[in-house]
Amino acid sequence: MVHRREIDGRAIVLGNQGDLWGNAMTWFDHDTGSVWSQPLGEAILGPLTGETFDLIPSTVLTWGGWRDRHPETVALDAPSQWSGFSLDQMAIVVEFGPDSMAFPVTDVREAGVANAVVGEVPVAVTVDPEGDSWTVLSRRLDGRTVELERNGDQLVEVGGDGRWDADRGLRIDGADDSLDLLPGFTSFPADYVTFFPEGFFWQRSGLVPAMP
């Protein structure tokens, strides 16, 4: 997930607070020492309690996929180790204000595209069937809502002739009606229930409340 770390136009400098809240990372800000929840992007303790950061659109790609698209990229070469987590254990969370929905990765991978409406926003969530990249896109296009299916690395309009790049939402034939990237982030399903008890899980058969 990527947050815009600003409040009233002022950049906030954050550090790793070192504790978990709801089994998720917390930050502290250098100015006030307030503690922030990473999934919520919200200060949960200290002088800035209740302040929130905006979640901004992002996408996840393999390093090789990113270099193919942006060969000029410079990256920090730092020691690291493989994570023990698999993307298929997680869900992709889409949140707009009080409305949220979790899309289990295995279900989305099987479906190709999850066409859904979160709050009043029609979204398409898709996962690379052979990799670990995922994307959240708007299905609103020129005042209408499109339904999408996946064909390889493309998204195809059901009942229409539109085709878009599945990673970036760019129109394949060069037309300017691209699909907008929307914010989303990954979470373990149990953690989603902790932070968003009023939300829903997407399934091909229908929506399931996070808290039955």
CB 48 within 8 A of CB 30: no
**Could you tell me the residue ranges of all domains in the chain?**
3-54, 87-204
Q: Is the pLDDT of residue 92 over 90?
A: yes
SS3 87: helix
Give me the pLDDT at residue 83, please. 65
SS3 107: helix
Pairing between β-strand 200-203 and β-strand 99-104 as defined by DSSP bridges = parallel
Q: Is the pLDDT of residue 62 over 80?
A: no
Q: Which CATH number applies to 87-204?
A: 2.102.10.10
Give me the pLDDT at residue 201, please. 98
CA distance 47 to 31: 10
**What's the pTM?**
0.82
Residue listed under structure tokens 């149990």: 190
Amino acid letter, 55: L
